[in-house]
Amino acid sequence: MVARSALSGWLHRAADSDVWWSFKSSPMTVAAAVATFLIVAIAFLSPLLAPHTPFDPATLSLSDGLKPPVLISPDGDWAFPLGTDDQGRDVLSSIMYGTRLSLAVSLAAVAVAMVLGIALGLVSGYFGGTVDALIMRIADVQLTFPAILVALLIDGVVRGIISVKRHDEIAIFVVVGAIGLSFWVSYARTVRGSVMVEKNKEYVQAARVIGLSPLLIMVRHVLPNVTGPVLVIATLNLGLAIITEATLSFLGVGLPSTEPSLGTLIRLGNEVLQSGDWWITVFPGITLAALVLAVNLLGDWLRDALNPKLR
Amino acid sequence: MQSIAVLLAVGVVAFSLFRYVGDPINAMVGQDTSMEERAELRTKLGLNDPAPIQFLNFIGNAMRGKFGLSYRTSEPVGRLILERVPATLELSFCAAMFVLLVGVPMGVYTGLYPKHWSSRSLQAVSLIGISLPPFLIGILLILVFAVMLHWLPSFGRGQTVQIGWWTTNFLTWSGLKALILPAITLGVFQLTLIMRLVRSEMLEVMRTDYIKFARARGLTNRAINFGHALKNTLVPVITVAGLQLGSLIAFAVVTETVFAWPGVGQLFIQSVQFSDIPVMAAYLMLIGLFFVLVNLIVDLLYFVVDPRLRSQGGTARVAGH
Amino acid sequence: MAVISNNPPLLEVKNLRVEFPTRRGTLLAVDDVSFDIAPGEVLGVVGESGAGKSLTGNAIIGLLEPPGRVAGGEIRLEGRRIDNLPYEEMRKIRGARIGAIFQDPLTSLNPLYSVGRQLVETIQTHLPLSAAEARTRALDLLKEVGIPGAETRIDHYPHQFSGGMRQRVVIALALCAGPRLIVADEPTTALDVSIQAQIIALLKKLCREHGTAVMLVTHDMGVIAETADRVAVMYAGRIAEIGPVRDVVKHAKHPYTKGLMGSIPSLGVRTERLTQIDGAMPRLTEIPKGCAFNPRCTERGARCLVERPSLMPAGTSRASCWLHDRGGVGAPILKETVDA
C-alpha cells in the first residue's frame, strides 16, 4: 500500500515535472525517442526478425549476389528487399545484425568509460594533491587528441603485442576498451568538480565527525548530484561511441569482416562503390546516421532540459 | 605549462611505444641481420642504458627527425613523414578555411536570430552534420559527385607541383579540383561544431548586462551585434576553435583513407594495421608538436583580443565574461 | 526642493500593463500603473522584489525582456507616445532622451572596450560630433562624474576600475547625450554601503545641474527619503501609494506603506523594536481577489476581500485603499480566535 502510493506520488511528480513537460512539448524529441527505441528493439531482436542469417556461409548462394533493392529495380527479389552484396548476403539482415553489434559495442564502451571516469573523478576530487594533479594532467593531455586517434593508437599497440590471428578473436574487446579508454575524461571532470564542491560542505564534515567513512559519504551524497550531467554525457557519448566504432571498423582496425558491424558493412560496400552498386553502402550508412541522429537529439534535449540556465 | 606537459607526455608515450612495444633494433636494421650483430647494435645504441638516458636519446633523435626505420617499408620514418606532410597540411588548411569562413558566419546568424525559421533549419541540419560520421559524408560525396556526376575525382591529389621538398595542390587545376571533396568531408563535422559553439556563445553574450546596457545607450544593432557581441563571443570561441582546427590534422586520418589522399594520416592508418611502431611513435610526436603550436597561436590571439590579459601580464585567464 | 508641478509632465505613464506569458498561464506583472514625472523631478519607486518596479522601468526604456510585453496602457515622453514605436525609432530615443543605469556596474560595461571608446561610441551615435569632439566631451564627462586622472583613465578598460568608479562611468554613459530622463534601476544595490551614498549624491547633483529627471527604482526606502521629490510605492504589480516623499514617509496613507515605514530604523526616535509586516507578497500566480494586500492588512474590511481599489486622493498623496474612500472598508472581519 505504502509502496504503491509512493510510486504513484513519484509518477505524479514526474508527470508534472519540467523535464517531462519539455519532453512532451518537443515533437522532435519524442520522435527521436521512438526512433531510438525502435532501432534498439529491432537490432536486439534481429535473430528473430531478420529474414536471413547473413553470416552463416551455409545459407549463402553466389547466384543471389548483387541483387538491387526491390523498389528501385525490376531485377530485385522480394526475398532480399534491400538487395544483396557480392557474396549474396541480404543487406537488410546484415544491417539488423550489424546494428546489434554496433550498439552492443558502443553501450559497453560507454559503460567502461563511465565507470572508469566516475572512479577516477571520485579519487581525483577526494584525495586532491598529487593524485589529482596527475589524473587531471593525463586528462588534459588526452583531450588534446581526438578520441578516434586515442582509440586507433590503443588498437595499434594491442596489435603490436599480440598476433594478428588472435587479434580477430578478441577484436571486440579491444574496440570496447579502446573507445572506453578514450571517453573517460568528461565523466572524471564532472564528478571531480562535484566532489570538490561537496567535500567542504558542513554535512560532509559532520558525517566525518560521527565517524562515517568519507568515501562512503562521497559515493552516497555526491554521486546522486551528478546523475544528471553524467546521464547527459553518457547519451551524447553513445552517439560518439557509435561513430567511433563505425569509423574504426571502416578503417579496417575495428571489428573483423566475419562479424561485421555497421562500419564494417560500409567499408565492404565502399570497396565495390565505384561499380555503382550503391545500396550495399548506402543503406547501412542511412541506418548508422539515423541511429546517431536519434541518440544525439535525445542527448541534446536532455542537456537543455537538465540545464535550467538555458531555459 | 600545458604545452610542456603535453609535449612531455607525448614524448613518454612515444618513447614507451618505440622502446617497449616495438623492437628498436628492428626499426634500425633489415630482416637479415644476425643475432650477434643485433646484440652488438643494442649495446652500441645504448639500449642497455638506464631508461631516462634512453629517453633523452630518443627525444634528441626525434628533434633531429630520426625515428628509425619503418617496419613495413624499411625506409627512414622521418623521410616517410616529411614526404607526406604537405598533402595533409594543405588539406587541413583548406578544411580550416571552409570551417571558419562558413561556420562562424552561420553561428553568428543563428545566434542573432534564434527564432527565425532559417536559423532553426540550420540548427537542425547541423545536428545531422554532427551525426554523420566523416567517412560516411566522404562516401556519399564520392557517390554523388564522382561516381554519378563525374564532376570531381574520388581519390588522390591530382597533379601536384614540386617546390623544393614541398609538393602543392594549389598550382594546378586538377590539384585544386581534387581538394574540394576531401576538404569538405574533413570540415563538415568541425563546421557544425563551430557553428553550434558560436551560436550558443552568441546567445549567452546577448543575455549579458553589458549588451542590455548597450541597448539602453541606444547603440545601433549593427554596433551591438558585430562590435560588442561578436567580439565577446570570440574570446571563448578562439580556444575551442583553435583546438578544433588543430584536431583537423588528426581527423585527416579518416578523410585521407576515404579519398586515398597520400598524407600522414593514411600513413598512420597503414602503420596501425601493420603495427608499424616507429611510424606510430613519430606520428604521435608530430601531432603533439602541432598541438603545441596551435596552443601558442591561441594564447597570442587571446592576448590581442582580451585587455584583461594584457594588463595582468597574461598570467590569469579570466573565465566567463 | 521645489517641485515644478504646473509644467506639463516630462513622462506620462497611463494604465500600463506588462504581461508575461508562461506555460502556466499569463502573468500580469504590472497591472494598471499610472504616474507622471515632471521635468527635473526625482521620482522614487520602491517595493519588494517582484513588485513590478524594474519591469515598469524596463517598459519605459522599451527593453522588456521577451516574452514580457506591454499589454495595455500608454507611455508618453514630452507628449509623444513611445510605447508603440518601432525598434529603430525607440533606439534613437534611448540614450539620447532617456538614459538608463542598471544595478550592477561590474557587468554593465563591456570588458573588451576601453571606457573612452564606449563613451565616444555612445556620443557619436546620438550627437553629430567628430571623433575628436566626442573624445573631448567624454573626457569632460569623466571629470564631471569625479574620475581622478580622467586623461589617462579614459583609455583604461573596465576591469581596471573599482566598483564605485565603474558606476561613475556608467552614470557618465547614461548622461553623455544629454537625456531628459534617467531610469536608474537599483543603481547602488551592488555597491559597498560606504560608496552608495557617494553615488546617490553624485547622481542627484548631476541631474540637478543638467535638469534631468530621474526615475529611481530601489527597494531602499532610505535612499528614496534622501533623494526623491515624490515616491511611488508598488505592491504586487500595482501602485499602492504615490505622493510627495515627505508626506509618504511621515504620514503614510496605505497600510502597506505604514508597515514599510515602520520597518526603517530611525536615529531620532527611540523605539523598542521595529515593526514588520506579517506574511509575504503573494506570487503573481496567486494574487488574491479584492485588494492584493488584504491577507496581510491589519485594517482590512469586508469590501477589501471583494473589490480592488484604484488610486484615490488621500491627503496630499493618493493611495489604493478603501480607507480613503467615502464607502470605507466595509464591515469589519472578526478574528474569532484572537477575540479574548
Same domain for B86 and B59, yes or no, is: no
Pairing of strands C11-22, C25-37: antiparallel
Judge whether B71 lies within some domain: no
Which chain B residues are within 8 Å of A288, Cβ to Cβ?
Answer: 133, 136
Task: Compare all CA atoms of chain B with the CA of A309 and give the residue at the minimum distance.
Answer: B204
In the block, residue with C-alpha cell 597574461: B314
Interface touch B253/A152, C-beta < 8 Å:
yes
Same domain for B143 and B231, yes or no, is: yes
B61 near C CB under 8 A: no
Which chain B residues are within 8 Å of A270, Cβ to Cβ?
Answer: 139, 258
B166 near C CB under 8 A: no
**pLDDT at position C336, please?**
44
Same domain for B130 and B184, yes or no, is: yes
Q: What are the residue ranges of CATH 3.40.50.300 in chain C?
A: 2-235
Instruction: Write out the three cell numbers for B192.
Output: 557544425
Summarised one tens digit per residue, pLDDT across range A249-289 is 888 777 777 778 888 888 887 777 777 677 778 888 888 88
> Is the per-residue pLDDT at C2 higher than 60?
no
In the block, residue with C-alpha cell 526642493: C1
Domain boundary among B38, B63, B88: B63
C157: left (phi over 0), alpha (psi -120 to 50) or beta: beta
Mutate to test the interface with C, among B203, B208, B210, B224 (most CBs of C within 10 A): B210
DSSP state of B73: T
For helices A223-250 and A184-199, what crossing angle results, to 10°?
170
CB atoms within 10 A of CB C126: 21
Which chain C residues are within 8 Å of B209, Cβ to Cβ?
Answer: 102, 104, 107-108
Find the mean pLDDT for residues C311-316.
85
Judge whether B75 lies within some domain: no
B235 near C CB under 8 A: yes
Q: CA-to-CA distance for B266 and B261, rounded, in angstroms?
A: 7
Interface touch A293/B131, C-beta < 8 Å:
yes
Residues of C with CB under 8 A from a CB of B: 61, 63, 91-96, 99-100, 102, 104, 107-114, 121-122, 125-126, 157, 159-160, 170, 173-174, 177
Q: CA-to-CA distance for B65 and B81, rounded, in angstroms?
A: 10
Q: CA-to-CA distance for B262 and B166, rounded, in angstroms?
A: 13
Cβ atoms of C116 and C141 closer than 8 Å:
no
pTM of the model: 0.77
Judge whether B319 lies within some domain: no
Interface touch A149/B127, C-beta < 8 Å:
no
The whole-angstrom distance between C287's CA and the closest CA on chain B is 30
B113 near A CB under 8 A: no
Expressed as residue numbers, the domain containing B170 is 80-307
**pLDDT at position A75, please?**
66
Q: Cα(first)–Cα(last) distance of chain B, in Å? A: 23
Assign 3-state DSSP to chain C and report helix, strand, coil percentages, each to 5.
35, 25, 45
pLDDT grade, residue C219 (50/70/90)? Answer: confident
For helices B104-112 and B230-258, what crossing angle results, to 10°?
130
Which chain B residues are within 8 Å of A138, Cβ to Cβ?
Answer: 9
ipTM of the complex: 0.84
Same domain for B10 and B126, yes or no, is: no
From edge to edge, which strands make up the β-sheet containing C98-101? Answer: C98-101, C181-185, C213-217, C42-46, C230-235, C238-244, C317-319, C312-314
Find the mean pLDDT for residues A95-104.
87
Cβ atoms of A232 and B119 closer than 8 Å:
no
What are the distances in angstroms from CA C67 to CA C22, C23, C24, C249? 8, 11, 14, 36
Judge whether B228 lies within some domain: yes
Interface touch B221/C96, C-beta < 8 Å:
no
Which chain C residues are within 8 Å of B203, Cβ to Cβ?
Answer: none
Find the mean pLDDT for residues A56-77.
65
Mutate to test the interface with B, among C110, C156, C182 (most CBs of B within 10 A): C110
Is the model more confident about C133 or about A167?
A: C133
For A149, phi then psi, to 5°, come to -70, -40
**pLDDT at position B312, please?**
53
Judge whether B313 lies within some domain: no
Summarised one tens digit per residue, pLDDT across range B18-57 is 777 666 666 556 566 677 777 777 776 666 677 777 777 7
Give the domain CATH number at B162: 1.10.3720.10
Find the mean pLDDT for residues A21-25.
70
Instruction: Write out the three cell numbers for C131.
Output: 571623433
Is the model more confident about C229 or about A207?
A: C229
Interface touch A251/B9, C-beta < 8 Å:
no
Mutate to test the interface with B, among A141, A162, A277, A280 (most CBs of B within 10 A): A141
pLDDT grade, residue B317 (50/70/90)? Answer: very low
Cβ atoms of C2 and C175 closer than 8 Å:
no
**pLDDT at position B313, please?**
44
The whole-angstrom distance between A162's CA and the closest CA on chain B is 10
Mutate to test the interface with C, among B207, B211, B213 (most CBs of C within 10 A): B213
Among the ranges given (B19-28, C242-251, C322-331), the one the predictor scored with the smallest mean pLDDT: B19-28
3-state secondary structure of B133: coil
Cis peptide bond upstream of B24, omega within 30: no
Same domain for B21 and B134, yes or no, is: no
Q: Provide the residue count of chain A.
A: 311
CB atoms within 10 A of CB B243: 16
CB within 8 Å of B15: residues ≥ 6 apart? B54, B55, B58, B59, B281
CB within 8 Å of A168: residues ≥ 6 apart? A256, A258
Domain boundary among B63, B93, B109: B63
Judge whether B69 lies within some domain: no
Q: How much of chain B, in percent, has pLDDT values that exceed 90?
A: 2
Cβ atoms of A148 and A125 closer than 8 Å:
no
Q: CA-to-CA distance for C286 and C154, rounded, in angstroms?
A: 50
How many domains, chain B? 2
Instruction: Write out the three cell numbers for B21.
Output: 612495444
pLDDT grade, residue C137 (50/70/90)? Answer: very high
Same domain for B23 and B90, yes or no, is: no
Q: Using only C-alpha atoms, what is the Rg of chain C?
A: 21
B209 near C CB under 8 A: yes
Which chain B residues are within 8 Å of C111, Cβ to Cβ?
Answer: 210, 232, 306-308, 318, 321
Find the mean pLDDT for residues A20-41.
79
Interface touch C100/B232, C-beta < 8 Å:
no
Q: CA-to-CA distance for B244 and B240, rounded, in angstroms?
A: 6
Same domain for B31 and B57, yes or no, is: yes
Facing B131 at nearest CB: one of A149, A161, A292: A292
Judge whether B123 lies within some domain: yes
The whole-angstrom distance between C121's CA and the closest CA on chain B is 8
CB within 8 Å of C139: residues ≥ 6 apart? C116, C150, C151, C154
Q: Number of Cβ pairs closer than 8 Å across A and B?
A: 121
Among the ranges given (A294-303, B149-158, B224-233), the one the predictor scored with the smallest mean pLDDT: B149-158
Among the ranges given (C6-10, C189-193, C200-204), the one the predictor scored with the smallest mean pLDDT: C6-10
Summarised one tens digit per residue, pLDDT across range C65-100 is 878 888 888 999 988 899 888 988 899 999 899 999
**pLDDT at position C37, please?**
92
Facing A156 at nearest CB: one of B128, B254, B275: B275
Which chain A residues are within 8 Å of B260, Cβ to Cβ?
Answer: none
CATH superfamily assigned to domain C2-235:
P-loop containing nucleotide triphosphate hydrolases (3.40.50.300)
Which chain C residues are within 8 Å of B231, Cβ to Cβ?
Answer: 112-113
Q: CA-to-CA distance for C128 and C119, rounded, in angstroms?
A: 14
pLDDT grade, residue A12 (50/70/90)? Answer: low
Task: Compare all CA atoms of chain C with the CA of B210 and give the residue at the minimum distance.
Answer: C108
Q: Cα(first)–Cα(last) distance of chain A, in Å? A: 38
Q: CA-to-CA distance for A247 and B288, rounded, in angstroms?
A: 22
Q: Number of Cβ pairs closer than 8 Å across B and C?
A: 86
Task: Compare all CA atoms of chain A with the CA of B147 and give the residue at the minimum distance.
Answer: A274
Judge whether B68 lies within some domain: no
